[in-house]
Amino acid sequence: MANFNADGTGEGAPFDIALDRLQITDGIALKNFRGKFTFLAGLQGQFQVEVNGATVVRGTLVPINGRSAVRIVSNDAGGLFRATGFAQCL
């Protein structure tokens, strides 16, 4: 049996997550979420997702000081701002 302790001492068994939709806020939904993760030294892994079904974003989840940090990258920053509605705020 795998040990998935919150303190990062788990065995690190890799696992995949695939979600059709993950609702973040009323106006932001992540679609076609696909990721590969492990609990080795804390929750970490890589994922790819479409923001509101429009712009593709790649991300990395890394453990930092007992918490999780997310780094995201997109080849279309303008598309990301449009897809989230942030462009209207500028």
pTM of the model: 0.76
In a domain, 23, yes or no: yes
In a domain, 85, yes or no: yes
* Confidence label for 72 from pLDDT (cuts 50, 70 and 90): very high
Structure tokens at 9: 């001492």
In a domain, 2, yes or no: no
Could you tell me what percent of the chain has a pLDDT over 90?
57
pLDDT of residue 1: 45
In a domain, 19, yes or no: yes
Bigger pLDDT: 48 or 4?
Answer: 48
What gap in Å lies between CA 23 and CA 15, rounded to an integer?
Answer: 21
In a domain, 84, yes or no: yes
Strand partners, 79: none
Bigger pLDDT: 55 or 5?
Answer: 55
Among 4, 1, 2, CA closest to 42 = 4
User: What is the average pLDDT value for the chain, to the nearest integer?
Assistant: 85
In a domain, 37, yes or no: yes
Count of domains for the chain: 1
Among 59, 58, 61, 54, CA closest to 80 = 54
Expressed as residue numbers, the domain containing 28 is: 15-89
